[in-house]
Amino acid sequence: MSFSKTFLTQFPARVLLDKHVIPLDAGNGDLLTVTSDLFDTSAVDELRLATGRDFQIALAPLADIDRCIKQYLGVGADTVQSMISEAGENGLQVIDTDADEDMNLTEAAEGASIVRFVNQILTEAIELRATDLHIEPFENTLRVRYRIDGVLQEASVASEVKQFQAAIVSRLKILSKLDIAEKRIPQDGRIKIRIADHEIDVRVSVIPMLYGEAVVLRLLDRSSILLGLDKLGMSEENLALTKIILRDHSGHRPDGKRQDNVAVCGAGPNQRRAA
Task: Write the pLDDT tens digit of every residue in 13-41.
Answer: 777 777 888 888 877 777 888 888 888 88
For residues 63 and 81, membership in a common domain is answered with no
Which domain covers residue 21, as residue numbers?
A: 5-70
CATH number of the domain enclosing 213: 3.30.450.90
For residues 173 and 197, membership in a common domain is answered with yes
Give residue 79's pLDDT: 61
Which of the listed residues 14, 39, 70 is the one where a domain comes to its end?
70
How remote is the C-alpha of 74 from its chain's centroid? 11
Give residue 100's pLDDT: 43
For residues 179 and 103, membership in a common domain is answered with yes
List the one residue out of 35, 82, 76 whose CA is nearest residue 56: 35
For residues 90 and 207, membership in a common domain is answered with yes
Q: Encode pLDDT of 175-226 as tens digits.
A: 999 998 888 999 999 998 887 777 889 999 999 999 999 999 999 887 665 5
For residues 184 and 106, membership in a common domain is answered with yes
Give residue 41's pLDDT: 83
**How, if at all, do strands 30-35 and 55-59 pair?**
parallel
Q: Are 58 and 33 a contacting pair, CB within 8 Å?
A: yes
Please give the tally of structural domains in the chain: 3
Give residue 85's pLDDT: 54
Give residue 48's region: left, alpha or beta (phi > 0; psi -120 to 50).
Answer: alpha
Task: Give the phi and the psi of residue 56 in degrees, each rounded to 5.
Answer: -90, 165
For residues 181 and 82, membership in a common domain is answered with yes
- Strand intervals (E) in the chain: 21-27, 30-35, 55-59, 132-137, 142-148, 151-154, 187-195, 198-209, 212-221
For residues 90 and 179, membership in a common domain is answered with yes
Distance CA 20, CA 132 (A): 28
For residues 187 and 246, membership in a common domain is answered with no
Q: What is the mean pLDDT, run by run of 10 residues, along the chain of 275 residues?
A: 68 78 78 85 84 84 81 64 51 39 58 82 88 94 92 85 89 91 92 82 94 94 69 84 79 52 46 45
For residues 156 and 105, membership in a common domain is answered with yes
Which of the listed residues 205, 224, 243 is the one where a domain comes to its end?
224
For residues 84 and 150, membership in a common domain is answered with yes
Burial of 184 (0-12, 13-18, 19+ CB in 10 A): exposed
For residues 157 and 115, membership in a common domain is answered with yes
pTM above 0.75, yes or no: no
Which of the listed residues 203, 224, 245 is the one where a domain comes to its end?
224
For residues 49 and 149, membership in a common domain is answered with no
CATH number of the domain enclosing 18: 3.30.300.160
